[in-house]
Structure 1
Amino acid sequence: MELELRELQLSRAFEQRDVKLFEETLRLHGNPNKPDGNGITIYEKVLATADCGKFIQLCIRYGCKSNYINENGKAAINFASDSRDSENIRILLEHQGVQVDNKYNDLTPLNSLAKGLNIQNVDQVKECIKLLLLYGASPNILDDVEMSPLQYVLYNKNLENNKKQEIISLLLQHHDIYIDDDLRYELLEWNPSLVLKPNTHPNPSIEVNRVLTLEECITSGDHVNFDQLLNDQFDVNGKPQGFDKTYVEIAIAYGNWYALEKLLQHKDLKMPNNLELLHQLTGRLDERPQKTFSDYNKCFEVLLASGLVDVNERDKSDRTPLYYAISYNKEFGVRELLKHDAYLGMKSYFNELAIDDIDPVLLEEHFDDCITSEGSSRADKNFKIILNYKTLKLPSNINSSEMEPICTMAKSKALRHLLKHPLITTLITLKWQSISLLFYLYTVISALFTIFLMLHIISMYSHDWMFKFALILKLISWLSVGYIAMVDVLIKSCLTRFTKSSIFGLIINILIIALSIFNNIMNNPEQYRSRIIAAFTILLIAVKLTRHIGSLPVYSLSMYVLMLREVSFTFLRSCIPYSILVISFGLSFYVLNFHNLSEKSISDAIMRAISMSTGEFNENEIGFKELFFDRLIFVIFVIYISIVLMNLLSALAFSDTQAIQASAEVNSLTHIVNLLSCYEVLFTKSWGRIESIRKLINHFANIKVANLPESVYTFPNKKHIDTTVTNSCEMMPLTNKNTRTRQDNQNNINMHEDHFIMKFSNTTIKRFLQVIDQKAKIERQRQLNSTIAKKLENIENMLSIR
């Protein structure tokens, strides 16, 4: 209901042309893409209405696509052309990926404007046509009745000759205009003074002095003359007359990969940093080209291979080409960008990550490609496994968390299983080894302070040997309260990303602090209320200790804590509907005076029903009054509550534990990822609140979160390398150029400073080898298919000769 009100408010704001209200509604998640009763969206209305440029900009800023196409095939540019407003069209064309010649009802935007031309809108249509031509619209596309835009203008009898002359001249000035003999005759008949260009160059030799010539070669695919112009020291950094695009951008717009490759190889080319060429190409990947020499996919490959563009370049909204490739479902673009080390964790202005919506299968294939091997045989002593982390390594010019993409994977149900991928497992372990000591130190200290807090409470109600140490335990309890307040509440609230689990832990710590202060100051053992508060404090401390065990990165321990948590949540969720039945039976027992409950309170009756639901019937003490009806109620209780309900809860618990056991390793890795994210904030963020904490930690222990290297490799067959076991993965310290590592007591290796020598457990090596074997199997199958295809082709050639 609330969403419907927002859409209604959005529509009202647009009708009243209230820009502020429109923006405020969009900020509150109003959806301009939701169709109304007539199947028309607010975004479509905005596009098709003149003088609505600000509304279009707001819609695009809050998630609408400039290359939007509805289910009927009508694109945003088609709606904008209906408005006859050049500003609406300009705002769309400033964004990448807009198909300027998209057809709707067999009319491109240019065709539609020319067909709807009349004396009232001639000036507006002229500006729209001029803008479309500037952004690459083709004047040669025919509609369903074989009419071009030029023909529509020429045959329009309602226009004044001077207005018609202006638009015809505009179309004739286009470099790629095609005029057949019939149309040429009609144009000259209408105005004999027209100077019409030939459709093809009569002389293949083109004058170098004409600035437009190079651009003509690009748009027409005349590669012979194009090569000649480049060899004659043509200015490749200029712009054609009447265009605001460079030659490189024109080659991309027409998909001329040959011209693009030659331009990028030119020694005098100066590539500006703000062209966003990859963004321009991403939206056109897999697009069917208008000309035979066009290939946008090839242009994309050429541009990436040139090394002249930043694969992580960002537009005004901080979105990268990888983000758009994933959003537009351009699988080719995603693969190519990842192949050229596009960073997976780049965050946009709206906190969107490219990895959020990526296809899990495609991402897993990419991770497989990041694992390679060197060596003729796996049995070879020098067999080497190489891991490439470039798409996960934070670029030097980006201020963010290196764990960002891994945290996103841990939160996503679709991607979480990839934490078990050997590439990600080793990445997590590489970072974990640098802060594991600090974590275990924190765990031990927290556990000790918490246990002393519990011992102090017990000592207040005990008369044995603990009573003698009550004063010392009270002093330690105050230290424990201070420690929990400082570390578990203040510091962790600054560092932790707030989730349901972290909020629950924060509440537990605050309650422990409050109840412990009460026990230390206002506790009176003679009052039973004080004993109740002390008992609840002990239970909360036990919950805290259990959570500590559950946070340990050892899934053989944390698995059972996770089971307890999930089964508890399942039981609490089921209590809402099931408790109605239990309470109803308790009230029935109260009315029937089972166990003399009528002499007690209603709460006692309900507690008795809960106890009986576990099987504690004490049937001899019930005291049935009637022969049939009260026994019938008791039998119904036994069947539905004690048997059906209890077995149902057991089945739910069994289902939960089975699922947790199946994903135990993933859950453990998720714990580590969350811990690493927290510690990375502590050691990398420049926040005044934690600067003193960081200095204090570094004063006692020089601990830093390890930066991810670009690549890591290991020799799995060299068993003798000295290592330190860390979470099923064993690593040696960082080795620089001058460090020599003993191998076979004979060979020495000089290592680059951003490489590690790693040795893995048998489980990890098995996973590596599975990936390598699978890749080898796919490659063998590909080669086999290629061989079969060649043989079939040879057979066909032989048959055709015969």
Structure 2
Amino acid sequence: MDLNGCGFSDPQAQMSAALAKRSIREFQDALEMGAQPNLQDERHTSIYEKALSTAGCAEFVEACLAYGCNVNHINQKHNKAAISYAADSRDPANLAVLLRRPGVQVDRKYAQLTPLNSLAKNLTAENADQVRACMQLLLDYGASPNVVDQGERTPLHHVLSNNKIRAAKQELVLLFLAHPHLDIDSYRNGQVRQLLQQQYPELQLPPQREAGAAGEIDDERLLRQLRDGDESQFEQLLAEHQLNISDKDNLRNANQERYLPLLFESIKRGKHRALEAILNTGININSKAQGEVTTPLELAIIWGNWRALEKLLQHPELKLAPRSSLLNAVISRLEQPLDDFCDHQRCFELLLASDRVDINEVDASGQVPLYYAVKYRNEKAVRTLLHHGAYIGTRSTFDELAIQDMSPELLEEHFDSCITTNAQKAGAQNFEIVINYMNLIRQQPAPAQSGKLRASQLEDEMTPIAYIAKSKELRHLLQHPLISSFLFLKWHRLSVIFYVNFLLYTLFTASIITHTLLKFHESEHTALTALFGLFSWLGIAYLIIREIIQLLMAPLLYFWSLTNLMELVLIVLSILTCIESSYDKETQRVLAVFTILLVALEFCLLVGSLPVLSISTHMLMLRAVSSSFSKCFALYSIFVLTFSLCFYILFGKPQDQPDQPASEPSAAVNKEEDGHFNTFSVPIEALIKTIVMLTGEFDAGDIKFDSIYTYFIFLLFVFFMTIVLFNLLNGLAVSDTQAIKAQAELNGAICRTNTLTRYEQVLTGRNGRTGFIVNIEPVRSICQRLMNIYPNYLCVRQISVLPNDGNKVLIPITDAYELKELSNAHGNGKSRASFQPLATNAEQQKKLLDPPLKLLPCSCSALTGRCSKIDNRTVKLALAVIDQKSSVEQRRQREQINERRLQHMEQKLEHILQLLQNRDLPDTGA
């Protein structure tokens, strides 16, 4: 079908037309073009449902199933399942297409009728053959012949009461009598047996059942009664069956196995009263029934039976297997309703509310529930998981993070929700900004479950932030107050290692450079030379110890770092420079030069890691310009090499030397030596000379131009290389520096993130595999104290900031002896309580952010007071987030008020209109 005469076809209309004219080929073509068979029209009916309910459409039903339609599809408007639509067609072929698929609910009711009941109730002489074939299929695939309708009539009862099918009635009766579980006595006082005896006295009937006969109650009868749907009678039979088990001592053990099929059946069919009765028998809810691959809890999640899930989660004997992945299973089914009692969204909420389920539990592939929610593009589930504290830094076995495909807007919106207040007025002295790190720090499991885990590895807390720093889409979130404050806390802990290393390496740099200068200039101050030599050896010893510690802490990660390899070379060269060597002076000078270069490079990298915005910005400029120039020059070096060869060929030919006077031999030799570089007579010197000429240093006066070709090649080099290429490289450098300056604050956060990540990787190793030295006390305790914020430093995953009291940071504590009082910012002797109740737990209390080392309060009180304060920019951004959230909330409230007013006005107008209409009606009274 063409739209607007433009030649564009509507796949949905083409699919509908193909079904109307029974063209399976056009139907499949429409599906391939993107037609949706589940899309409902204005009558709330889909093409899939039309195909199911129309006779002769088995091929179309098969095509719909192949393109993703569900065999247990339910029309939410009519609450009608696919099996009921297929039964309405009275076509065995349509029904067979569905039943051949696994997991079809053959006894799913619509209007209180199962498909088998519906077929029996609508049986006529014209459709008797088709109905019999459909009934045969349903019975073969497990449909129960004993399920009653609202009038307590079974399908066989409807057949016997139908007087319009004289010819086919006996065949249908024989079909039902052949079923091994047929019950003709339990309903309507055995009326079905009476009708059979009256109409077919020659047929042999099943033995009569007696509901009160306890000896006849077996497992099969209980299962059959459960499937038939009468829960009250099932409870009676189950109680009688319990009383008739002879061995009372082994009653519990017997119930643990024999009632498992009943438990599974009650979960599948939503029989909640029967479920409670079965659970009261003492059944083992952690076992798997024969033929089942899931536990009862997992089955309740698969079927979306939230009532059964709630009961099982509250069961005291429930034991969850490791990596049960319950949340992962329910997230993949959130959009798939199966039956009236099914609600996967409710199951999802129950699992999140249960303390038995770990929200960050990984499955066999290392994926967490948050990853699956992002994978299925379920933003509601993503928001819910983040709100419940899902960790965003878990890596899978494929080295993937859950936030890789997450929307930056969604993540930023959730980060905003993590910035709250303590409900005090903004100008109050005790007004607090509460920052919650529940998604940046993994929630620690219970000690009984995590004892072995803590003994083998340290928690890596920089993984999500390191990924955010690398991602171009998420990089701007580093400036969010949630991230910047977390980086402040991490730097507050790890800065001790950095500053100690920076101080010792600075002393080593000054010592070895001074010692080298004094040594090669043969200074007369031998004592000073020896002193700096001793300091240099102490610095070398420190470098050796530092590298050994790094190697022992992270043996797999150590040799992957280019910086570590450079430091190894530096140690070797420093030793060769400081020792009394026996080799020649020239070799010693070369070694000393390379030592000084490496020392300076390492010192430059350390200075660039300082948390000073201007320093980090210039360091990034240097790296960016160097990287950009190296990439471009690697390509354009082809032309540099080409021109150097051209110059060598044109200008490097031997020149005829005039005779020199005998009195000036040395001057001639010097002139010849000086002319080598400018005459391109040596290939290597020609290449170096060409690179120098690239910067504009030509020395054209020393170049011998003897033909027009030499002028042309030289001018071509000047124009193409010196003017064009060199200015291009300068332009790229200016562009890079401008881009870095434009986002200087963001680049500072990136530098700090990279530094913290590098230091944390040294402590944790690759993938958390620490070296043996980290697992030795007290090294392990020191590493935990310096690296892990939670739970070694923060007892809960949040802090509070006092913006009206010098931006002081308060952390929660649990021990009473740690409660202190803070003097005011001016030190006037007045004091006030330094702790406030936390938003999450009123019993928690807070203290001032303490220094990384306990020595600092005694040695430098001014420094410790400054360390406990967060920067002004982070506080201002946090206040801006709070103000923005407040504005949004006020706007939402105003919209709600306006909406209620409009509704009230509409009601008033309708009332006035009705009054006017009533007044205009003519008076028909006498």
User: Could you state the TM-score of these two structures normalised by the residue count of structure 1?
Assistant: 0.69
Q: Is the 8 A contact 2:267 2:299 kept in 1?
A: yes
Equivalences for residues 529-544 of structure 1 within 5 A? 529-544=587-602
SS of the equivalent of 1:132 reads coil
Paired position in structure 1 for 2:723: 643
> How far apart are 1:579 and its partner, in Å?
1.3
What letter is aligned with 1:714? Answer: V
CA distance in 2, matches of 1:109, 1:291: 12
Instruction: Tell which structure's C-alpha radius of gyration is larger.
Output: 2
- Residue by residue over 1:290-326, the C-alpha shift from the partner in whole angstroms, topping out at 9 and shown as x without a partner, is 5566543343234423545332334344433222212
* C-alpha distance 770-237 of structure 1, shift in aligned 2 (>3 A): farther
What letter is aligned with 1:273? Answer: L
Of 855, 862, 875, which residue of structure 2 is paired with 1:765?
A: 875
Q: Is the 8 A contact 1:346 1:353 kept in 2?
A: yes
> How far apart are 1:283 and its partner, in Å?
0.5
> How far apart are 1:616 and its partner, in Å?
1.4
- Tell me if 1:517 matches 2:598: no
CA distance in 2, matches of 1:496, 1:647: 46
CA distance in 2, matches of 1:181, 1:455: 107
- Residue by residue over 1:241-263, the C-alpha shift from the partner in whole angstroms, topping out at 9 and shown as x without a partner, is 99957776565444455x36864
> How far apart are 1:795 and its partner, in Å?
4.4
CA distance in 2, matches of 1:605, 1:493: 49
User: Is the deviation greater in 104-113 or in 736-745?
Assistant: 104-113
- Tell me if 1:619 matches 2:704: no
CA distance in 1, matches of 2:328, 2:873: 42
- Tell me if 1:345 matches 2:426: no
> How far apart are 1:543 and its partner, in Å?
0.9
> How far apart are 1:461 and its partner, in Å?
1.6
SS of the equivalent of 2:686 reads helix
> How far apart are 1:350 and its partner, in Å?
5.0
CA distance in 2, matches of 1:457, 1:277: 66
Paired position in structure 1 for 2:326: 277
Q: Is the 8 A contact 1:248 1:263 kept in 2?
A: no
Paired position in structure 2 for 1:325: 373
SS of the equivalent of 2:435 reads strand
Paired position in structure 2 for 1:446: 505
SS of the equivalent of 1:297 reads helix
> How far apart are 1:508 and its partner, in Å?
1.6
- Tell me if 1:714 matches 2:801: yes
User: Is the deviation greater in 346-355 or in 376-385?
Assistant: 346-355
* C-alpha distance 588-686 of structure 1, shift in aligned 2 (>3 A): closer
> How far apart are 1:499 and its partner, in Å?
9.5
CA distance in 2, matches of 1:342, 1:583: 57
SS of the equivalent of 2:515 reads helix
> How far apart are 1:651 and its partner, in Å?
1.6
What letter is aligned with 1:633? Answer: I
- Residue by residue over 1:60-119, the C-alpha shift from the partner in whole angstroms, topping out at 9 and shown as x without a partner, is xxxxxxxxx999899xxxxxxxxxxxxxxxxxxxxxxxxxx9932586569999x9xxxx
Q: Is the 8 A contact 2:408 2:473 kept in 1?
A: yes
Of 170, 173, 185, which residue of structure 2 is paired with 1:192?
A: 173
CA distance in 1, matches of 2:582, 2:407: 62
> How far apart are 1:546 and its partner, in Å?
0.8
Paired position in structure 2 for 1:687: 771
> How far apart are 1:181 and its partner, in Å?
11
Q: Is the 8 A contact 1:430 1:706 kept in 2?
A: yes
- Tell me if 1:460 matches 2:541: no
Paired position in structure 1 for 2:816: 737
> How far apart are 1:581 and its partner, in Å?
1.2
SS of the equivalent of 1:170 reads coil
Paired position in structure 2 for 1:547: 605
What letter is aligned with 2:328? Answer: H
Q: Is the 8 A contact 1:382 1:717 kept in 2?
A: yes
Identity across matched positions, percent: 29
User: Is the deviation greater in 785-794 or in 243-252?
Assistant: 243-252
Paired position in structure 1 for 2:752: 669
CA distance in 2, matches of 1:273, 1:377: 46
What letter is aligned with 1:299? Answer: C
- Tell me if 1:606 matches 2:684: no
Paired position in structure 2 for 1:396: 444
* C-alpha distance 445-207 of structure 1, shift in aligned 2 (>3 A): same
CA distance in 1, matches of 2:774, 2:539: 21
Q: Is the 8 A contact 2:570 2:595 kept in 1?
A: yes
- Tell me if 1:559 matches 2:583: no
What letter is aligned with 1:445? Answer: L
CA distance in 1, matches of 2:619, 2:435: 34
CA distance in 1, matches of 2:33, 2:514: 69
Q: Is the 8 A contact 2:266 2:275 kept in 1?
A: no
Query: Tell me, which stretches of 5 or more residues in structure 2 are unaligned?
Result: 1-30, 37-62, 74-81, 87-95, 121-126, 177-181, 188-225, 239-260, 454-458, 653-674, 825-829, 837-842, 850-868, 914-926
What letter is aligned with 2:724? Answer: V
Equivalences for residues 212-227 of structure 1 within 5 A? none
Of 474, 485, 499, which residue of structure 2 is paired with 1:426?
A: 485
- Tell me if 1:103 matches 2:130: no
Aligned length: 674
Q: Is the 8 A contact 2:506 2:603 kept in 1?
A: yes
What letter is aligned with 2:749? Answer: V
- Tell me if 1:208 matches 2:235: yes
> How far apart are 1:332 and its partner, in Å?
1.3
* C-alpha distance 587-309 of structure 1, shift in aligned 2 (>3 A): closer
Query: Tell me, which stretches of 5 or more residues in structure 1 are unaligned?
Result: 1-68, 75-100, 116-124, 724-729
Q: Is the 8 A contact 1:335 1:366 kept in 2?
A: yes
Paired position in structure 2 for 1:168: 140
CA distance in 2, matches of 1:129, 1:564: 68
Paired position in structure 2 for 1:568: 626
Paired position in structure 2 for 1:88: none
* C-alpha distance 276-540 of structure 1, shift in aligned 2 (>3 A): closer
CA distance in 2, matches of 1:249, 1:173: 29
- Tell me if 1:409 matches 2:468: yes
CA distance in 2, matches of 1:656, 1:177: 78
Paired position in structure 2 for 1:584: 642
Of 330, 336, 345, which residue of structure 1 is paired with 2:384?
A: 336
Q: Is the 8 A contact 1:456 1:477 kept in 2?
A: yes
Query: Aligned-residue CA RMSD in angstroms?
Result: 5.4
- Tell me if 1:363 matches 2:411: yes
> How far apart are 1:422 and its partner, in Å?
1.1
Paired position in structure 2 for 1:132: 103
* C-alpha distance 654-494 of structure 1, shift in aligned 2 (>3 A): farther
- Residue by residue over 1:460-494, the C-alpha shift from the partner in whole angstroms, topping out at 9 and shown as x without a partner, is 32133565544444444444333323314652674
What letter is aligned with 1:383? Answer: F
Q: Is the 8 A contact 1:731 1:760 kept in 2?
A: no
What letter is aligned with 2:331? Answer: T
* C-alpha distance 546-496 of structure 1, shift in aligned 2 (>3 A): farther
- Residue by residue over 1:615-649, the C-alpha shift from the partner in whole angstroms, topping out at 9 and shown as x without a partner, is 112333333223x4433322222221111111111
CA distance in 1, matches of 2:349, 2:511: 64
Q: Is the 8 A contact 2:359 2:390 kept in 1?
A: yes
- Residue by residue over 1:758-782, the C-alpha shift from the partner in whole angstroms, topping out at 9 and shown as x without a partner, is 6433211111011111212222233
* C-alpha distance 137-779 of structure 1, shift in aligned 2 (>3 A): farther
CA distance in 1, matches of 2:329, 2:781: 48
Paired position in structure 1 for 2:894: 784
SS of the equivalent of 2:833 reads strand
SS of the equivalent of 1:760 reads coil
What letter is aligned with 1:620? Answer: G
User: Is the deviation greater in 490-499 or in 232-241?
Assistant: 232-241
User: Could you state the TM-score of these two structures normalised by the residue count of structure 2?
Assistant: 0.61
CA distance in 2, matches of 1:589, 1:304: 76
CA distance in 1, matches of 2:545, 2:64: 62
Paired position in structure 2 for 1:55: none
* C-alpha distance 183-544 of structure 1, shift in aligned 2 (>3 A): farther
Q: Is the 8 A contact 2:553 2:770 kept in 1?
A: no
* C-alpha distance 680-71 of structure 1, shift in aligned 2 (>3 A): farther
* C-alpha distance 232-523 of structure 1, shift in aligned 2 (>3 A): closer
